[in-house]
Structure 1
Amino acid sequence: MRIQKVDTFPLFYRIPKPYGDANGIKSYRACYMIRLTTEDGVEGWGECADWLPALDKGFRDRIIPYLTGKSAAERNTLVPTISQWHSRAASAVSMALTEITAKACGLSVCGLWGGKRRNAVPVYASFQSYTDGSDWTKQSLLSIERAIADGFGMVKLKIGGKSIACDQQHISDAQALLQDRIGLALDANQSYDAAAALKWKALLEAWPNVMWLEEPIPVKHTDEYACLRQRLSVPLAGGENIEAAADFIPLLTRHAIDIVTPDPLHVAGIDDYLGTLKLARQFGARVSPHSFDGALSRLYAVMAHACLEPWSKMETEAIEPVEWDVMDNPFAHTVPVRPVQGELMLPEGHGTGLEIDMELLRFYKWDGSSYS
């Protein structure tokens, strides 16, 4: 099971109608996919996201020479070594090695992890609510209508990028569409302080369909999260940029957060991601993965959720939803799975059970030019 070849697929897409969140407007989407192939022809795919020039140089100059000739079974050695060089690159290598091992054992990834507990996992429609046009609220509401028509029963909208009054009007208008029957999460992307977050208190208490408030303040402010959790009536969520399972411990031990939101692309390997899920369960915390930036990593988040023990004895709330990017992003189609009525059925077969769309990889291949 020695690695014979490493292929890389840097992908780039210029967004015709830019959109964004409290961190700013995005004018492009970028993704970096890799394929490892062993001497006996077993393939494994991985994915990461970062600045493409740095990723591409890092893989070609260091990671590919390091991996070539190594045993694909040595994931516990290879991934931590690469993580010292580039943690996000390590996440891609980890996925690819995991799939190779599963295929070599004649198992699905879920089978390799001990078997799935459910065949379908709920997903919610995730929006980047802002555009640079004056009609951004109108465009947002139209997008929400489309998601509801597509069968999504839960949505996440952005706040924190406009004035509080402007954002509150936008969410109030959106609530007229949701009519309390569609679950709503609000994500501020760490843009507030505690005083600003508390200005949402009255509305949050009046809206029965609010699922959680995500990252209202910087995640490093653990004590303030604990204070907000006592004063707000809705669950608090966060942690998409936390890189290691151990880094969630302060939030969990202080009971500062209700729902952790790890991202498979932001941790140093899928094994550490699984460790985060298990750690959260040990503290009785819920997990709703952040998976906005990658289709393959989102599939890994869904597969991990399929294997995760329930957080509640209530049958209707046995497993939390996974984020599903509904914005303009052609890379979402590189992995051929789609939710139906707000649920994603787990694919069958060895490894991930799916074939990557090579035509899309070729079409959106980055040409090496500057895009900053």
Structure 2
Amino acid sequence: MKIHQVDTYPLFFRLKEPYGDANGYKFYRSAFWFRIRTQSGIEGWGECVDWLPVLEKGFQERVIPFLLGQPSTKRLQLVSTIKKWHPRIAAGVSMALTEIAAKKAGMSVCDLWGGKRWPKVPVYASFQSYTDRPDWAGHSLRMVEQAVADGFRQLKVKVGGKSLREDQQHISSLKAMLGGQAQAAVDANQSYDVATALRWNRLFESGGDWLWFEEPIPLDRADSYRLLRSRCPIPVAGGENLPGPKQFLPLLQENAVDIMQPDVMHVNGVDDFRDTLQLARHFGLRVSPHAFDGILSRCYALLAQSCLSSWSKMDGEEIEPVEWDAMENPFTSLLPIRPSGGSVTIPEGVGIGMEPDPQLLEAYRWDGSSYG
């Protein structure tokens, strides 16, 4: 079970039209896939995100030389070392080594983790609401309308990148258009202070079709989140960039959030991700994984969520939704999983139950040229 080969697949796609959130516009999508193969021929796939030149150089000069010849069974030790160099690479290596372990045992990743509880996991359509169009709000509404027509009953849109007046007009129009057909989350990407965040209460109090208010203020202000949570009429959510369970503790100790949102690619590995999900359950909280950046990491979020116990004893409660990138992203097609009726059926078979499309991996391979 020693690691024999590591192949890298840096991927790049320039968007036809830029879109974004309160942090700015995206002009391209990128991803970094890699395959780890053992001497016996068992393969596992990983994914991470960062500046592609940094990732390629890091793999070729440090990560691959370190991994070659190592026992693939020492996943926790290998990930612990790599996370000191690059935590997001460590997260991807964790995925690949988890899949190798499952394939070696002849079982699915879910069975390796104790078996899935939920054969289907709900997903919410996640939108980057801003474009450079003069009618950006109308364009946003049309995208959401199409998602509802496609079967999504939960969705997330962005605020914080325009004036409060413009954003609230957009969300008021969205709520009127939905007419109770779908629930909406509002994500501010840490754009406000408490006083400004509370100015959303008027809208939130006007109806019950809200999922949550996501990261309205900087996440390092746990005391401010506690104050906001005590006055906000809808659930408060956050945590997509926190690297592990330890970093969630201040929010939990302050009773600062209703919903935790770890991201597989932002924590220090799949094991830390699953520990974070379980931490939410220990505190009696809901957990709805963030998974915008990549389809393989989203797959692992879905697999982990399918193995998680219910947050409530109430009859009829289903597992919390996982984020589904609803924007232009050709890398979503790398794996053959798609939502249907607002949920994803968890694949069967050994490992993650599917393989990436080799032709697409080559078609979107980054050519090494400069981009920005």
Range into which the TM-score falls when normalised by the shorter chain? over 0.9
Q: Does the Cα contact within 8 Å between 1:180 and 1:207 map onto a contact in 2?
A: no
Match of residue 31 from structure 1:
31
2:18 is the alignment partner of 1:18:
yes
1:239-254, aligned counterparts within 5 Å?
A: 239-254=239-254
Q: Does the Cα contact within 8 Å between 2:87 and 2:267 map onto a contact in 1?
A: yes
C-alpha deviation, 1:314, in angstroms: 2.1
Match of residue 298 from structure 1:
298
1:150-165, aligned counterparts within 5 Å?
A: 150-165=150-165
1:97 and 1:236 map into 2 onto residues whose CA distance is: 34
Match of residue 324 from structure 1:
324
Match of residue 84 from structure 1:
84
1:313-352, aligned counterparts within 5 Å?
A: 313-352=313-352
Q: Does the Cα contact within 8 Å between 2:31 and 2:48 map onto a contact in 1?
A: yes
- The one-letter amino acid paired with 1:256 is A
Can you give the 5+ residue segments of structure 1 that lack an aligned partner in the other structure? Answer: none
The normalised TM-score by structure 2 is 0.99
Can you give the 5+ residue segments of structure 2 that lack an aligned partner in the other structure? Answer: none
- The one-letter amino acid paired with 1:300 is Y
C-alpha deviation, 1:138, in angstroms: 1.4
**Which segments of structure 1 move beyond 6 Å, counting only runs of 4 or more?**
none
Match of residue 223 from structure 2:
223
C-alpha deviation, 1:319, in angstroms: 1.0
SS in 2 for 1:206: coil
Quote the RMSD (CA, aligned, Å).
Answer: 0.7
C-alpha deviation, 1:236, in angstroms: 0.2
Q: Does the Cα contact within 8 Å between 1:109 and 1:303 map onto a contact in 2?
A: yes
Match of residue 267 from structure 1:
267
Match of residue 257 from structure 1:
257
SS in 1 for 2:316: helix
Please give the per-residue CA displacement for 1:220-262, whole angstroms capped at 9, x wherever unaligned.
Answer: 0000000000111100000000011110001011110000000
Please give the per-residue CA displacement for 1:106-137, whole angstroms capped at 9, x wherever unaligned.
Answer: 11000010111110000000000000111111
- The one-letter amino acid paired with 1:23 is N
Give aligned-pair identity as a percent.
56
Please give the per-residue CA displacement for 1:135-182, whole angstroms capped at 9, x wherever unaligned.
Answer: 111111110111011000001000000001100111111112211230
- The one-letter amino acid paired with 2:161 is G
Please give the per-residue CA displacement for 1:23-69, whole angstroms capped at 9, x wherever unaligned.
Answer: 00110111000100111110100100111111110000000000011
1:248 and 1:288 map into 2 onto residues whose CA distance is: 14
- The one-letter amino acid paired with 1:29 is R
1:79 and 1:316 map into 2 onto residues whose CA distance is: 38
Segment drifting more, 39-48 vs 315-324: 315-324
1:105-124, aligned counterparts within 5 Å?
A: 105-124=105-124
2:57 and 2:237 map into 1 onto residues whose CA distance is: 35
1:151 and 1:253 map into 2 onto residues whose CA distance is: 37
1:47-58, aligned counterparts within 5 Å?
A: 47-58=47-58
C-alpha deviation, 1:207, in angstroms: 2.3
1:47 and 1:108 map into 2 onto residues whose CA distance is: 19
Q: Does the Cα contact within 8 Å between 2:148 and 2:181 map onto a contact in 1?
A: no
C-alpha deviation, 1:316, in angstroms: 3.1
C-alpha deviation, 1:337, in angstroms: 0.2
2:12 and 2:19 map into 1 onto residues whose CA distance is: 16
Match of residue 280 from structure 2:
280
1:91 and 1:358 map into 2 onto residues whose CA distance is: 22
1:161-240, aligned counterparts within 5 Å?
A: 161-240=161-240
Aligned length: 372
Q: Does the Cα contact within 8 Å between 2:123 and 2:342 map onto a contact in 1?
A: yes
